[in-house]
Amino acid sequence: MTVTFNARKYKVDEPYGCRRGSRISRIDNDGTIHYEERCKHRTKLVTDPAREPVTLPLREANKLRGGETLSVLQRGEEARVVSVTRDGQLVQWRGDRFGG
């Protein structure tokens, strides 16, 4: 069975309009001096592209539900589910499903 994936969207804090301050933040081993920067910040929506679909054995794919996050091991055309999480909780390890 072929499993497809959605693109992942998340928010990141993006600095912009940065200006070098007068305070030293660090000095590298080679003597390079780095100064603190003062920046404005904004929230940016980032999208990671969806990964390519994978083909899983039917006995593994039948256990999956929409909205779950998969960790998949793939070699060539052959793929296996390593772990499955839902809402940050591990619900499956290899072929063993936990709970309902």
In tens, the pLDDT along 48-87 reads: 888 888 888 888 888 888 888 888 888 888 888 889 898 8
CB-CB contact of 81 with 95 (8 Å): yes
Quote the CA–CA distance of 61 and 84 in Å, as a whole number: 11
Looking at the domain assignment, is residue 27 inside a domain? yes
Helices (H), 1-76: 58-61
Query: Would you mind telling me the total number of residues written for the chain in this entry?
Result: 100
In 3-state terms, what secondary structure has residue 58?
helix
Higher pLDDT, 61 or 23: 23
Task: State the total domains in the chain.
Answer: 2
Q: Give yes or no: residues 61 and 36 share one domain.
A: no
User: In sequence order, which ranges of 1-100 are alpha helices (DSSP H)?
Assistant: 58-61
pTM listed for this prediction: 0.52
Token pair listed for 93: 């390890």
Whether 1 is in a domain gets the answer no
